[in-house]
Structure 1
Amino acid sequence: MQVALVGLGVMGKNLALNLIEKGLTLVAYDTNPDAGAELLSCAQSLGLAERLHIVSDLGDMVRRLESPRSILLLVPAGELVDRVCVDLIEAGVSKEDIIVDCGNSNYKDGIARKLKYQNKFEFATMGISGGAEGARHGPAMMASGSEGGWERVEPWFEKVAASYNGDSCFARVGQSASGHFVKMVHNGIEYALMQLIAETYQLLRHGTGRSPKEVAAIFEQWSQGTLNSYLLSISSHILSLETTGTEPLVDLIDNKVGAKGTGLWTAQNALELGIAVPSLVAAVQARHLTNTIDTHAAKEMTYASKDTVAIDVDLDELKEAFYLASLLCYRQGLALIKGASRAHQWKVDLAKTLQTWRAGCIIRADYLDDIAQGVEFIDTLEKEASSLRKVTGLAIASGLAFPVLSSTQTYIATLSTPSNGHLVQAQRDYFGEHGIKTHSGETCHLTDLVEIDAKVR
């Protein structure tokens, strides 16, 4: 079996090594010749150089592949993907060939490209998670589409991907470009979980006065049980690190947080689809707030420093609150995927989606089985819900910032307690005559229900 790979950056190089280690013969290309040389050197050190062919241009790559061809793209999202596709057409790819975009492309671009290139080649999409380590030893792979050509590469992707209890973490989750949408939401959940862990650290360190090492020990203890996850584990390790002078490593790191766009796309698409994911949106905004000093509105967004208040939090209640908040971050993401699938008729399989997240990816966690049980299971977590309310109240009372924690509590409270939407409906109709809907389902205006004093209007 021959496969070609275009793009030998960190992810491309490591995925290439994974592919040839699993038995594939790989033809690889990058515009930077040093990247190809580095990959070849790594393959030689593993004794796998005979399975790797580095080419100097796309024309040579296409000529080396037997038809029908299978070509993977691991290039930066955006115009470069189209540029490579056009170059491949000029190099001689045919309608029977399949080209799989494995980068972090916007799913809307994937939909457009499927139409744009439908008479030139089969264009498919696949999101990959796990970073360099995952790409090398087994990533999570969220593919989509029903294009001809999948049957050639699917068995190999199942081998290349991570596995959980004997099942591959590769799946075609749905139709069209749903694989990239699922990967986008995966990253949105990732944003929320990272911020939630950071807020829990913030509460323990600056709210209760614990040292980073003490917080690391708490996270480590949690990781030994049901809360075990990749992100919590690496956070514990990070917080345990010290300089040679025993200064906490985290204290040397600037507070400004970068982003590559997938979190923002998640928030934008949730708003467009009318699906509430407040925890995921809050995590994106939390990153934006760390960079306010660099914005044009910096002066309007810079306030005087305030004192905070020490609090005393029960660690068992904090653990319960963290557990429920984590589950709710995932559930919001799954609700967004389900809503988008319905809107675009993708037929996304949520069970397959969760299977791809069980190993290899950044948001893997032992409690994914609990998430899979759905809303019915979350409704049974009364003790955890009480702890979430209590901990959120204590956290806010400290004067510190907890955007994801508070948004998550607001999310579950809005969906499980009396709403205030009836007053907002009335307000909109009062000044704009937008109409109101009654409990009986009737649509009318306030004036139909009661006479309003014209002087007040």
Structure 2
Amino acid sequence: MQVALVGLGVMGKNLALNLIEKGLTLVAYDTNPDAGAELISQAQSLGIAERLHIVSDLGDMIKRLEAPRSILLLVPAGELVDKVCSDLVEAGVEKDDIIVDCGNSNYKDGIARKLKYQNKFEFATMGISGGAEGARHGPAMMASGSEGGWERIEPWFEKVAASYNGDSCFARVGQSASGHFVKMVHNGIEYALMQLIAEVYQLLRFGTKRSPEEVAAIFRSWSEGRLNSYLLAISAHILELKTEQDEALVDLIDNKVGAKGTGLWTAQNALELGIAVPSLVAAVQARHLTNTIDTHAAKEMTYQTKETDEINVDLDELKDAFYLASLLCYRQGLALIKGASRAHQWKVDLAKTLQTWRAGCIIRADYLDDIAEGVEFIDTLSNETKALRKVAGLAVSSGLAFPVLSATQNYIATLSTASNGHLVQAQRDYFGEHGIKTHQGETCHLTDLVDIDQKVR
């Protein structure tokens, strides 16, 4: 089996080695000749260089591949993807060739490209998670589309991807560009989980005055049970790291968080679809707030430092609260995927989606089985629900910021307790005559139910 790969950056280079090691013959191209030379050197050291061919231009790459061709793109999202696709058309790709965009492209771009290139080649999308380590040894792979070309390469991707209990973490999750949408939401969940862990660290570090090393020990103990996850494990490791001067590494890092855009896309698409994902949105905004000082509005948005209060939190309750909050972050993401699938008629399989997340990816966790149980399972977690209420209240009372923890508590409370929406809708009808709906399902106006002699001026 021959496959071509365009783009030998960190992800491309590591995926290339993974592909070759699994038995594929790879033809690789990058505009940077040093990237190809480095890949050859690594392949030689592993004794697999005979299955690798580095080419100097796309035309040579096309000639080396037997038709129908399978070409993977691992180039930065945006205009460069279109440029490479256009260059491949000029280089001689044919209608039955499949080109798979494996980068972090916006799913809307994927939909447009499928239409743009439909008579030139088969265009497909696939999200890949796991970072460089995952790409090298087995990533999570969220593919989409029904193109015939998938039949040629799907068996190989099942081998290249991570596996969990003997099942591959590669799947075609749905139609069209749903693979990139699923990967986008995966990243939105990732934002929320990272921020949630950071908030629990903050509560323990500054709310209860524990050291980074003590917080790491707590995270380690949680990881030994049902809370085991990749993100919790790396957080514990980070908090254990010290310099030669015995300083905690975490204390030397600037308090500004970067972002590549997929978290923002998640928030934007949730708003467009009218699906509430407050924990995921709060995580995006939390990152923005860390960079406030660099904005034009910095002077207006920088406030005087305030003292915070020490609190006493029960560690078992904190553990239960963190567990439920984590489950709810995933559930919000799955609700967004389900809503988008319905709106776009993608027929996304949520079971397959969760399967791709079980190993190899950044949001892998032992409790994904619990998430798969759905809302019915979450409704049985009465102790965890009470713990989340208590911990969220205690955390906020300290004066510290807990955007995701608070948003998650608000999410479950809004969906499971008395709502205030009836008053807001009454306000809308009062000043804008937007209408109200009664418990009997009747649509009317306030004035149909009561006399309003004179409205407030």
- With normalisation by structure 2, the TM-score equals 1.00
Matched, 1:187 2:187: yes
Match of 1:265, as an amino acid? W
What is the CA distance between 1:401 and its match in structure 2? Answer: 0.2
Could you give the per-residue CA deviations for residues 56-75 of structure 1, whole angstroms, max 9, x where no partner exists? 00000000000000000000
The 3-state SS of whatever aligns with 1:189 is helix
What is the CA distance between 1:373 and its match in structure 2? Answer: 0.1
CA distance in 2, matches of 1:450, 1:340: 40
Partner of 1:227: 227
CA RMSD of aligned residues (A): 0.5
CA distance in 1, matches of 2:441, 2:292: 45
CA distance in 2, matches of 1:345, 1:220: 42
The 3-state SS of whatever aligns with 2:359 is coil
Partner of 2:132: 132
How do 1:79-90 residues align onto structure 2 when only pairs under 5 Å count? 79-90=79-90
CA distance in 2, matches of 1:444, 1:38: 70
Match of 1:227, as an amino acid? L
Could you give the per-residue CA deviations for residues 152-190 of structure 1, whole angstroms, max 9, x where no partner exists? 000000000000000000000000000000000000000
How do 1:119-268 residues align onto structure 2 when only pairs under 5 Å count? 119-268=119-268
The 3-state SS of whatever aligns with 2:206 is helix
CA distance in 2, matches of 1:338, 1:6: 32
CA distance in 1, matches of 2:425, 2:233: 45
Match of 2:243, as an amino acid? T
Partner of 1:40: 40
Partner of 2:447: 447
CA distance in 2, matches of 1:399, 1:433: 40
Could you give the per-residue CA deviations for residues 360-402 of structure 1, whole angstroms, max 9, x where no partner exists? 0000000000000000000000000000000000000000000
Could you give the per-residue CA deviations for residues 79-106 of structure 1, whole angstroms, max 9, x where no partner exists? 0000000000000000000000000000
The 3-state SS of whatever aligns with 2:39 is helix
Partner of 1:361: 361
The count of aligned residue pairs is 457
CA distance in 2, matches of 1:419, 1:456: 25
CA distance in 1, matches of 2:456, 2:187: 49
Match of 2:409, as an amino acid? Q
Report which stretch shifted further, 440-449 or 393-402: 440-449
CA distance in 2, matches of 1:161, 1:456: 64
What is the CA distance between 1:307 and its match in structure 2? Answer: 0.2
CA distance in 1, matches of 2:272, 2:55: 43
Match of 1:259, as an amino acid? A
Match of 1:87, as an amino acid? D
Matched, 1:308 2:308: yes
Identity of aligned residues (%): 89
What is the CA distance between 1:428 and its match in structure 2? Answer: 0.3
What is the CA distance between 1:443 and its match in structure 2? Answer: 1.0
Could you give the per-residue CA deviations for residues 247-282 of structure 1, whole angstroms, max 9, x where no partner exists? 100000000000000000000000000000000000
What is the CA distance between 1:454 and its match in structure 2? Answer: 1.7
What is the CA distance between 1:128 and its match in structure 2? Answer: 0.1
Partner of 1:322: 322
CA distance in 2, matches of 1:316, 1:454: 55
The 3-state SS of whatever aligns with 2:331 is helix
Partner of 2:428: 428
What is the CA distance between 1:442 and its match in structure 2? Answer: 1.2
Partner of 1:272: 272
CA distance in 2, matches of 1:139, 1:270: 26
Partner of 2:94: 94
The 3-state SS of whatever aligns with 2:260 is coil
Match of 1:381, as an amino acid? L
Partner of 2:8: 8
CA distance in 2, matches of 1:267, 1:364: 21
Match of 2:255, as an amino acid? N
Residue segments in structure 2 that go unaligned for 5+ positions in a row: none
The 3-state SS of whatever aligns with 1:95 is coil
- With normalisation by structure 1, the TM-score equals 1.00
Partner of 2:49: 49
CA distance in 1, matches of 2:40, 2:383: 56
Match of 1:220, as an amino acid? R
CA distance in 2, matches of 1:298, 1:456: 38
CA distance in 2, matches of 1:311, 1:411: 24
Partner of 1:376: 376
CA distance in 2, matches of 1:427, 1:300: 31
Match of 1:350, as an amino acid? L
CA distance in 2, matches of 1:15, 1:455: 67
What is the CA distance between 1:455 and its match in structure 2? Answer: 4.7
Match of 1:314, as an amino acid? D
Could you give the per-residue CA deviations for residues 326-378 of structure 1, whole angstroms, max 9, x where no partner exists? 00000000000000000000000000000000000000000000000000000
CA distance in 1, matches of 2:97, 2:176: 17
How do 1:106-121 residues align onto structure 2 when only pairs under 5 Å count? 106-121=106-121
CA distance in 2, matches of 1:132, 1:343: 33
Match of 1:387, as an amino acid? A
CA distance in 2, matches of 1:239, 1:327: 24
What is the CA distance between 1:456 and its match in structure 2? Answer: 2.7
CA distance in 1, matches of 2:337, 2:312: 38
CA distance in 1, matches of 2:152, 2:121: 15
CA distance in 2, matches of 1:85, 1:313: 55
